[in-house]
Amino acid sequence: MISEKWQFAMSPTPKLTLLPRYANVPKRVLKALHNRVNSLVVDPWAGRFNRILSHNLQPEFMAKAKDYSGMLEILSGQRRGVGAFLVRCGLSLLTPVYRVGIGYRNWRFNRGKGVFRVSVPVISVGNLTTGGTGKTPFVIWLASFIRRIKVDSPYGRRVAIISRGYGSMEGQLNDEALEMDQRLQAVPHLQGADRVQLASTAVAELETELILLDDGFQHRKIYRDLDIVLVDATRPFGFERLLPRGLLREPIPNLARADVVVLTRCDQVTSQRRMEIKKRILQWHPAVLWAEAEMRPTTFIQDSGRQLALEELRGQSVIAICAVGNPSGFHSTLTRLGLEISESIVWSDHHHYSREDLETIQSMTAQHPATAVVCTHKDLVKLNVDRIGSIPLYALQIDSVLQTGRQQLEQRIKQLAG
């Protein structure tokens, strides 16, 4: 987190100049849309929408309290029934408003309005959709690689991570930052709403030589020298619809802004499906650098640091719990490792665990005997326990491993880092 004592002089708000198609829309309306959409796309939106669903529609649609999967089933069309249909219709009515807001917002940034440059190179890593794309493991790999680039200092290249900190509690880092801190102990992570100020602080106070802008594709206030967008192979285009009807933060053709597209979880789909996704993206951006990354499990780990080889739980019955953007990806990985999921609980992304939640999990372990409770690393840093009741709790640690395009991407990064 960043202290309130840091102050950063920002340029005045630029004067609004309207695109012809927006000329008949009152400026106050466009300003309101711009401000609202800015908050929606900078902060991942799925968790906010899920809270609305959980409170208002839970009795009819949610099998379990705070079941994030239920929301995804409604958006994807898998959940049938009159109620789910009405929800989709209602959300469809809101999508045009969002489209106008995001279009106007991007138009302003395309004209260079409100964009700030910092004095060091900036690499942005972001998504086209809400929900998990394997961004945290990729940022960990990227930061580690940059640190290893040869410099005169024995401590390596000085890099800092800047992020919004969605889902964090006041005065605390969020789950993604806590996981990164455990795995990147030499890399500072600054979180806050004003990322321009944070970037200035990182350069001035921490002598940062390169900034990683985490979840930065939609945060266009900071000029970036390299724009990397991650696309999840298992859910690449957010049900083909913009928020709030789908999971797209902005239209697919906006990938033309990206310098690099990395297809994550490439090992979880067929080679034919990978080619279909690549072909579609290259239609919009033929010159983009294409890479594919596998989300590779490495070990099971406990809060105390004790590790367990992947083979140790193969064939064992486990209870899977998670609060991530793409729970199906987590479950698929466990199944591919040979674990038998006897029961699972899914919470919304960045969910904060309560005593009630722990009691729910403990009750489930009594009803469904299992060898272990398994979660993601993002969950473990919030649970902070080695056992739930009499059952051990393990997190599956994941590394991002580039399968194609690695050499070209590393070369681009080396050129930028000098």
pLDDT digits (tens, 9 = 90+) for 231-286: 999 999 999 999 999 999 999 999 999 999 999 999 999 999 999 999 999 999 99
- Under a CB-based contact definition with an 8 Å cutoff, are residues 271 and 263 in contact? no
Give domain status of residue 116, yes or no: no
Low-confidence spans in the chain with pLDDT less than 70: 1-68, 151-155
Confidence (pLDDT) at 369: 87
Give domain status of residue 8, yes or no: no
Q: Judge if 338 and 253 occupy the same domain.
A: no
**HSE of 47, CA atoms in CB hemisphere, 13 A:** 17
Q: Judge if 79 and 127 occupy the same domain.
A: no
Q: Judge if 230 and 271 occupy the same domain.
A: yes
Q: Judge if 202 and 150 occupy the same domain.
A: yes
Give domain status of residue 5, yes or no: no
Q: Judge if 238 and 330 occupy the same domain.
A: no
Which of 53, 81, 110 corresponds to the end of one domain? 110
389: exposed, middle or buried (C-beta count within 10 Å: 0-12, 13-18, 19+)?
middle
Q: Judge if 220 and 246 occupy the same domain.
A: yes
Give domain status of residue 338, yes or no: yes
CB neighbourhood size of 21 (10 A): 11
Instruction: Round to the nearest angstrom and report the end-to-end CA distance of the chain.
Output: 29
Q: Judge if 323 and 371 occupy the same domain.
A: yes
**The domain that contains 329 carries what CATH number?**
3.40.50
Q: Judge if 192 and 261 occupy the same domain.
A: yes
DSSP-based three-state secondary structure for 247: coil
Give domain status of residue 246, yes or no: yes
Q: Judge if 182 and 264 occupy the same domain.
A: yes
What does the DSSP 8-state code read for residue 187? S
Distance set, CA 368 to CA 95, 360, 364 (Å): 42, 12, 6
DSSP-based three-state secondary structure for 296: strand
pLDDT, tens digit (0-9, with 9 covering 90-100), for 283-318: 999 999 999 999 999 999 999 999 999 999 999 999
Confidence (pLDDT) at 6: 27
- Under a CB-based contact definition with an 8 Å cutoff, are residues 247 and 328 in contact? no
- Angle at which helices 82-110 and 27-42 pack, to 10 degrees? 110
Give domain status of residue 4, yes or no: no
Q: Judge if 193 and 333 occupy the same domain.
A: no
Q: Judge if 189 and 252 occupy the same domain.
A: yes
| Spatial CA neighbour of 83 closest among 74, 96, 72, 92 | 74
Give domain status of residue 11, yes or no: no
* Residue 371 lies in domain: 297-398
Q: For the chain, what is the radius of gyration of the CA atoms?
A: 22
Give domain status of residue 1, yes or no: no
Q: Judge if 210 and 285 occupy the same domain.
A: yes
Confidence (pLDDT) at 170: 73
Domains: count for the chain: 3
